[in-house]
Amino acid sequence: MEISKEARHESPLAGALAGACGSDAVHISEPMKEHTTFRIGGPADYFVTPHTAGEIRELSGIARQYGADVYIMGNGSNLLVSDQGIRGVVIRLGREFGAVRVEGTTIFAQAGALLSGVAAAALEAELTGFEFAAGIPGTVGGACLMNAGAYGGEMKQVLKSVQVLTQQGEIKVRGPEEMGLSYRHSAFMEDGSVILEAEIGLSKGKAEDIKAVMEDLKKRRQEKQPLDLPSAGSTFRRPEGYFAGKLIMDAGLAGLSCGGARVSEKHCGFIVNTGGATASDVKTLIEDVRSRVLDAYGVELFPEIRFLGDFA
């Protein structure tokens, strides 16, 4: 049950969280629509922006002590948050965790660094191999968690190691064999580790060639994706042997809507917020699309986006 904003302000948990990272970093009843690319989502009880790994460890411990759930997020580019919001503590790794440094052909990027920023650093250092990620509107942490990819590239191809904070409060370095990376999946989804930093291995290239590839991919995105409307990117995983967007288009579902949510006519693999869409609108439309595609082609679609909060 949602508690009032006043009650949250006065709660011992609020005071403990503020004691761990400062009152300016703790926001009460924070509207999540301000922090997701879908521009959808009710209030999070507690929304915290820590500055250090030590603060993340302390915040997680405090939340457990008070019996509150903890959710880690980055840029909110792959999330659908419930209209009722999130009961518990949301820890956002944003610009406070956005450092990027280049050492030879290796880039070290903190979890809150935007993929576009890492791509820009790679271009400046004339390093190739990260062009595929330049237009993905997410952070390094989320990209590692989901093994993000586009246009034939994915994080699995470039990740050398990931530094994580385990549920036991230890900072560990995981190598490729421990990440469990596969299509839009990683072992971190199961073990609850918080990704802190990624070591990305690239190769020397020529700036003009790297820039040309980035510009080409940018043009292709602009031509084929509904970038003018809020969304969470590709709504569905790619079913083996098929393309989700084509199945949806062939089923005649382009433009299908529910409230303010609509299947994009420009790219049917995207569900967009045409204005005022609720999480319930999106969830209902997702299930409608899944049902119709299954009936038409016998292919089951699974969401690629992550759901936070109560959708019961």
Catalytic residues: 184, 234, 304
The pair of structure tokens assigned to 89 is 């503590």
The sign of the dihedral angle between the CA atoms of 149, 237, 189, 138 is positive
Phi, psi of 132 (to 5 degrees): -60, -25
Residue pair 254/300 in contact (Cβ under 8 Å)? The answer is no
Cα 299 from chain centroid (whole Å): 26
Write out 154-220 in H/E/C secondary structure. EHHHCEEEEEEECCCCCEEEECHHHHCCECCECCHHHHCCEEEEEEEECEECCHHHHHHHHHHHHHH
Range list of β-strands (E), the chain: 26-31, 43-48, 70-73, 79-81, 86-92, 100-103, 106-110, 127-128, 149-150, 153-154, 159-165, 171-174, 194-201, 203-204, 231-234, 257-258, 261-263, 270-273, 306-308
The pair of structure tokens assigned to 169 is 């409060």
The pairing of beta strand 100-103 with beta strand 106-110: antiparallel
- Helices (H) and strands (E) counted in the chain, each on its own, are 10, 19
The Cα angle at residue 35 between residues 87 and 310, in degrees rounded to 5: 30
